[in-house]
Amino acid sequence: MSTESFTQAPAETIDLQRRNVLKSSGLAIAFLWLGGTGAASAMMSARRQPADTAAAMADGNPPFAPNAFIRIDSEGPVRLVMPSVEMGQGIYTGCCMLLAEELGVGLDQIKVEHSPPSDDLYGIPALGGQITGGSTSTRATWSVLREAGAVARSMLVSAAAVQWHVDPSTCTVDRGVVHHAKSGRSATFNQLADVAGRLPMPEKVQLTDPKDFQLIGKPIRRVDAADKVKGATQFGIDVRVPGMKVATVMACPTFAGKLASIDDKAARKLPGVVDVLRLDNAVAVVGEHFWAAKKGMEALVIDWNLGVNANLTTQQLQDAMADSARNGKGIVARDDGERPQGTLVQSEYQSPMLAHATMEPMNCTVHVTHDQCEIWTGTQVPMRAAQEAAKITGLPIEKIVLHNQYLGGGFGRRLETDWVEQAVAFAKQVPYPLKLVWTREEDIRQDHMRPMYHDVISAVLDAEGRPVWYGYRTSGGSVLARFAPGAMGKDGLDSDAVECVVEIPYDIPKAHVEWMRHDMPPGFIVGWWRGVGPTHNLFVVESFIDELAHHANKDPLEFRRSLLQKNARAMGVLNLAAEKIGWNSQPLPARVGRGIALAEPFGSHVCLIVETEVTPQGEVRLRKAVAAIDVGIAVNTSSIEAQVQGGVLFGLSAALYSELTIKNGAVEQSNFNNYRVLRINEAPLVEVHRVVNAEPPGGLGEVGTAIAAPALANAIFAATGVRLYKLPVDRHVLVQSPEVLKSVVSAAAREERRDIA
């Protein structure tokens, strides 16, 4: 591997009749389920499928639609129906690049379309359905879209060759035009579409040799960038349909609480207020516009039945989870036998509940009639959303029409369907299209939060301080058990809860890993957060590796190197990051430190080194972050840089500031004033360096987030000698002396008074 040269891979020949789809996609099955969508066999394919004809008919019946992705009309651009959703991760550009590389068109000749709900046509094998998440999109589409492009090109060339009575091998393709140099003839894809659409599909196609790539591996401007810059991109919250009214909603502030009674007389008298609607646990005010709905909501007098969680607090939840981690009976995920003799080192870590806090709050526009339900929203799970709407309306699934939109952030929040279900339930009560928009306060307080965790981690060291065994007991709720119960292990194991713990990069001979399932009280719904299991587990594991290095009195970099002699790819990113930041090249100032974190999440390899200053008052200042990433073959190098930078900043922000706390059964945070995020003047320079090789593509969108917290915690330890066992960072434990603590408290009080004023 190298950071400068590309190791060429041989050209690929794809046998469409006999190929093993999973092997050619470079994916291992993560999980398949029957519980969520009934799509255990969901599979994208470059070949025609039974559902293709109906999908093409619904998409204008183009003359050439060789598969679920490609549409070529008699005129106009090539249309690409996107199997994944775009939520800022750049997958639309990556998909376009994969298709264009093999089809022989420019990115400017492709028009992207959101895919309709269909597990059969757009299901990702590793996730068991039409789902965008888990950093799987590039891995899932890497072979399929290239094959789709190659199949379409072969058929279009054959169409030209049939008409010209020439050998197809004598034809070439350039920017959507088939040429025959000897006769001087040429024809556009649009001109060939009708004939190509009647030809049989080739059994074999040959993909472009990587040395001949024109697009893949290059830094490409995103296909959706221009419209976003000028404000032309339509997100769910931008949807407008004729006759639409706008509503905002408030649900019971306590989880599992219900609506007791409501006095809406004052609200109904306000200008622009149209109606007040009720569900068993929520109320919506409908207005001619959002402001009228919001003012109407403020005028309501609501009495809530707070339910069983009325007195619940964060401390109660944390205490119960700690007891579970220490004393509970766990489900064993790995056991390599008896623990060896040696020096035992043990620590406990705690991770908080987190909100997703996407830029675009939850929203959904719905029009329910007697024979159809039409939905406009941005969702990571279109088919699941349509199925839930069918249950609520009682309509057959074919009568649910879902128009997916660009997502203003997902981070796992839009893997859920609760806001769609709520919007459909309210829209059933009115004859007009209803646009439901959550306020930021509702968005944070009613989030399907990232679970809290409590972990006990230990290691046995030999006489040289080298770990020969590690133990891990993690306690937390299960998202998988609710979202995809069929994917749970036969013994009840949630594989996500122990991801990046069962297998770690380091050469440690033995391990014992357990998960104690500790679900939240009734009414609490936990959801996946960007980085899923690795985000929490890597904070614990990589912080503890630093602890072990300190215990052995060894440099954290050298300690890791000593454990990576059998892992060349992990060693590669570690050495690259250390080289680029200049590890130990010169002494750092007082209370400035560097922290390393290394991991292999989502099929990729990453090392992040953060340089941090901690002021005497305990304020953490992020000076610099250097990431080294090995994702195998790169599709769009610009996207790699952007995703790692964004993911690192997202993760650093959460580690520094983010936490949901519970008081009297309700979330205390409500907006960015008390659910703090990293500000632009606080963001460090994030350098991204890539190891270049010909390995199959790994996942990317969540890698930077998953590795950020431990790198920061280790940097803080290097700067202060204070080990952080709990997130988010508590600046009061980082002050230099009691006198400074007193001044910090006084300053905080003055700042609070100024904010109130």
Tokens 């970099």 — which residue?
Answer: 557
- Res. 689: pLDDT tops 70: yes
Instruction: List, for residues 434-444, the tens digit of each pLDDT value.
Output: 999 999 999 99
Tokens 């300690």 — which residue?
Answer: 559
pLDDT computed for residue 488 by the predictor: 95
Give which of 218, 273, 257 is closest to 101, Cα–Cα: 218
Instruction: List, for residues 122-176, the tens digit of each pLDDT value.
Output: 999 889 899 999 999 999 999 999 999 999 999 999 999 999 999 999 999 999 9
Domains of the chain: residue spans and CATH? 13-227 (3.30.365.10), 236-308+362-437 (3.30.365.10), 453-742 (3.30.365.10)
pLDDT computed for residue 456 by the predictor: 98
pLDDT computed for residue 742 by the predictor: 60
Instruction: List, for residues 258-283, the tens digit of each pLDDT value.
Output: 999 999 999 999 999 999 999 999 99
pLDDT computed for residue 126 by the predictor: 86
Instruction: Output the pTM of the full model.
Output: 0.92
| Residue 696 DSSP label | P
pLDDT computed for residue 16 by the predictor: 45
3-state SS class at 304: strand
- Minimum mean pLDDT among 23-32, 76-85, 362-371, 501-510: which range? 23-32
Please measure the distance between the N-terminal and C-terminal CA atoms of the chain and give it in whole angstroms.
59
- Res. 41: pLDDT tops 70: no
User: Got the DSSP string for 618-629?
Assistant: --EEEEEEEEEE
Give which of 653, 336, 655, 564 is closest to 469, Cα–Cα: 336
Mean pLDDT over each residue of the chain, to the nearest integer: 92
Q: Quick one: how far is CA 166 from the chain centroid? A: 49
Instruction: List, for residues 173-230, the tens digit of each pLDDT value.
Output: 999 999 999 999 999 999 999 999 999 999 999 999 989 999 999 999 999 999 999 9
Q: For the chain, how many residues are written?
A: 757
pLDDT computed for residue 672 by the predictor: 97
| H or E segment to which residue 177 belongs | strand 177-180
Could you give the angle at which helices 137-164 and 91-103 cross, rounded to 10 degrees? 30
Q: Are strands 666-667 and 363-368 parallel, antiparallel or unpaired?
A: unpaired
Q: Which two tokens stand for residue 535?
A: 């985000």
In the structure, what pLDDT confidence band is assigned to residue 699 with cuts at 50, 70 and 90?
very high
How many whole angstroms separate alpha carbon 268 and alpha carbon 285?
A: 9
How many whole angstroms separate alpha carbon 470 and alpha carbon 340?
A: 10
Instruction: List, for residues 591-638, the tens digit of each pLDDT value.
Output: 999 999 999 999 999 999 999 999 999 999 999 999 999 999 999 999
In the structure, what pLDDT confidence band is assigned to residue 736 with cuts at 50, 70 and 90?
confident
How many whole angstroms separate alpha carbon 596 and alpha carbon 716?
A: 11
- Res. 93: pLDDT tops 80: yes
| H or E segment to which residue 440 belongs | helix 440-445
- Res. 28: pLDDT tops 60: no
Q: Which amino acid is at 195?
A: V
Q: Is 386 left (phi over 0), alpha (psi -120 to 50) or beta?
A: alpha
Q: Which amino acid is at 510?
A: K
How many whole angstroms separate alpha carbon 666 and alpha carbon 662?
A: 5
Q: pLDDT higher for 26 or 665?
A: 665
Three-state secondary structure readout of 48-114? CCCCHHHHHHHCCCCCECCCCCEEECCCCCEEEEECCCCCCCCHHHHHHHHHHHHHCCCHHHEEEEE
Give the mean model confidence (pLDDT) for residues 324-342.
Answer: 96
Q: Is 318 left (phi over 0), alpha (psi -120 to 50) or beta?
A: alpha
Instruction: List, for residues 505-517, the tens digit of each pLDDT value.
Output: 999 999 999 999 9
Do residues 432 and 367 make contact, with C-beta atoms less than 8 angstroms apart?
yes
Do residues 493 and 333 make contact, with C-beta atoms less than 8 angstroms apart?
yes
Q: Is 503 left (phi over 0), alpha (psi -120 to 50) or beta?
A: beta
What are the angstrom distances between the C-alpha of 382 and each of 37, 118, 388, 412?
A: 11, 8, 10, 14
How many whole angstroms separate alpha carbon 46 and alpha carbon 193?
A: 17
- Res. 746: pLDDT tops 70: no
- Minimum mean pLDDT among 10-19, 270-279, 446-455: which range? 10-19
Q: pLDDT higher for 634 or 749?
A: 634
Q: Give me the numbers of helices (H) and strands (E) for the chain, helices first please.
A: 20, 28
Sign, CA dihedral 612-615-616-618, equals negative
In the structure, what pLDDT confidence band is assigned to residue 32 with cuts at 50, 70 and 90?
very low
| Residue 371 DSSP label | S
Q: What share of the chain is helix, strand, coil (3-state, %, to 5)?
A: 35, 25, 40
How many whole angstroms separate alpha carbon 377 and alpha carbon 391?
A: 18
